[in-house]
Amino acid sequence: MPTRLTWLLRREALILAAVAILIAGAVAVWSLLQATVLTVAVAPRDGTEPELIKAYADALEAGSEGVRLKILPFDDVRESAAALQDGRADLAVVRPDVLLPTNGLTLAILRDQAMVIASPDQAGIKSFPKLAGKRLGIAAHRTADLSLLKNLLSYYGLTLETEATAGMPRDRAVHLVRVEQEAVAAAFREKRIDAFVSIIAPSAPKALAMVGAVRSVARTGKVEFVAVEDDGAVIERFPKLQSVTVPGGLFGGDPKLPSDDVKTVGASYRLMARASLSRVVAADVTQHLFEKRTAAAQVTDAADYIQAPAYDTTAAATSARIPIHPGAIDYYEREQHGFVDRYGDTLYLLGALGGGLVSLLAWIRQRLSGLRREGIDEIIDRLVDVTGLARAARTTGEIEALTVEVDGLAADIVRYARTREPDARALSAATIAIDTARATLSDSPRRDAGPSRPATARAVTG
């Protein structure tokens, strides 16, 4: 019997194996309960998103949630989207009209932006064609905002010129003038601009301040807003944009400003996840994003603008031009799974593996027990043979040799009984065989017939 496998025959070995399996299972379950760390690419550096995501990450850590965030900052949303697309990040702040990752699916909208073009009533700018030859003020020169503005102006046959590329405005050109946010009113009074544009969340404090500045220079206190009446056609032309309606009265109630709803277009900053992110993790991220909104809002007002992407049906959500992650849909439709639902397959596999290992050890033990019985059976068979030889022995040398062999076989049985769990029936049979062999040797007539070759003892291993 192979000595290196004899430890499997002991009860202690099976108990140790069972404990090891239980520990392995506990470790596996413990690993499942550890927080999932996700890398999130955040941009733009001068926007509200970095502060928002940092507040969200801090709230997750403070609440000891099962998801944690590792922030990877970038200067521009094109870079953050690229980080998601090439696998450097699990989540990313994305502006779809700048770069939509091929593997990105929406979890939530961090903020919706609308193109708001406002002018005092005396400027007479009520539509896009009226912008031709005018000076349009803008507070920031973000590449993404300029691209959106250029696309929309081109739809109406207008071109955009900046201070660096143009002199006086031409008939079909719109001259862009950089104006600081706090200097909007002064720019109107000094006739440096005729209208002001901002791509912003309409209810944001900066949007309210901008409209207030325009209103302060209006002769009658009336502000005109340039509407995108054919917004549906614009969205078809530029599918990464979205329709936005600025509700009437948003900027003031007496008099109502605007007097009616204003249709325009805009873009959104979205938190997107790689498509391969599990539905469970995506649902958890989305859930925590909204559950921690109150805590994040104590740090930044940007948390108040987080919202779910609009969709009518699940099919529409997953087949949209900017599709939603199935895990986020699970959260929005309250179809999240419990612990057993989430990890049921894993737990089943662990249980099956543990049961298989136990069965394997039991089979090995049974097999080696059979080998054990074969060993002791060999000893018993030899004792029976010795008994026969004892009856035929006539010389003292033969009897003494057989006696030594019986003593050796008895010693083998004693060692077996001390080191292994004995089989009662086999041990009883071996005891009877030893007693019979010794009794036969004692009763054998001894006649010294001269030197004789002693019987060869056959070694039997147990």
Q: Convert the pLDDT of each residue in 221-264 to its tens digit.
A: 899 999 998 888 988 898 888 888 999 999 988 788 998 999 99
Q: Distances from the Cα of 296 to the Cαs of 57, 291, 384, in angstroms?
A: 9, 10, 88
Torsion, CA 351, CA 357, CA 363, CA 367, rounded to 10: -170
d(CA 164, CA 132): 18
Range with the poorest average pLDDT among 14-28, 145-159, 294-308, 363-377: 363-377
Residues 6+ apart with CB under 8 A from 52: 110, 296, 300, 302, 303, 306
Give the pLDDT of residue 11: 55
Range with the poorest average pLDDT among 6-15, 222-231, 277-286: 6-15
Give the pLDDT of residue 376: 73
DSSP string, 108-175: EEEEEEEEEEEEEGGG---SGGGGTT-EEEES---HHHHHHHHHHHHHTT-EEE-TTT-SS--TTEEE
The H or E element spanning position 402 is helix 396-419
| Per-residue confidence band for 315, with pLDDT thresholds at 50, 70 and 90 | confident
164 pLDDT above the threshold of 60: no
278 pLDDT above the threshold of 60: yes
Q: In the numeric block, which tokens belong to residue 162?
A: 């900046």
Give the pLDDT of residue 58: 94
User: For the chain, percent helix, then strand, then coil, each to nearest 5?
Assistant: 50, 20, 30
Instruction: Kindly tell me the burial class for residue 341, based on how many C-beta atoms sit within 10 Å of its own C-beta (0-12, 13-18, 19 or more).
Output: exposed
Q: Where are the alpha helices (DSSP H) in 10-66?
A: 11-33, 49-62
Range with the poorest average pLDDT among 77-91, 159-173, 245-259, 306-320: 159-173
d(CA 228, CA 247): 14
pLDDT averaged over every residue in the chain: 81
Q: Does residue 169 or residue 355 have the better pLDDT?
A: 355
Cis peptide leading into 255, omega within 30 of 0? yes
The proportion of the chain whose per-residue pLDDT surpasses 90, expressed as a percent, equals: 38
354 pLDDT above the threshold of 60: yes
The proportion of the chain whose per-residue pLDDT surpasses 70, expressed as a percent, equals: 77
Torsion, CA 353, CA 355, CA 361, CA 364, rounded to 10: -100
Range with the poorest average pLDDT among 120-134, 193-207, 403-417: 403-417
d(CA 44, CA 57): 17
Which DSSP category does 64 fall into?
Answer: T
419 pLDDT above the threshold of 70: no
List phi, psi (to 5°) of 267: -135, 170
Average pLDDT over residues 206-213: 92
Q: Where are the alpha helices (DSSP H) in 292-338?
A: 293-297, 314-318, 326-332
219 pLDDT above the threshold of 80: yes
Q: Distances from the Cα of 403 to the Cαs of 121, 376, 391, 393, 431, in angstroms?
A: 128, 19, 12, 11, 15
| Number of Cα atoms under 13 Å in the Cβ half of residue 59 | 22
400 pLDDT above the threshold of 70: yes
347 pLDDT above the threshold of 60: no
> Which residue ranges form the domains of the chain, and what is each CATH number?
110-270 (3.40.190.10)
| Per-residue confidence band for 461, with pLDDT thresholds at 50, 70 and 90 | very low
| Per-residue confidence band for 399, with pLDDT thresholds at 50, 70 and 90 | confident
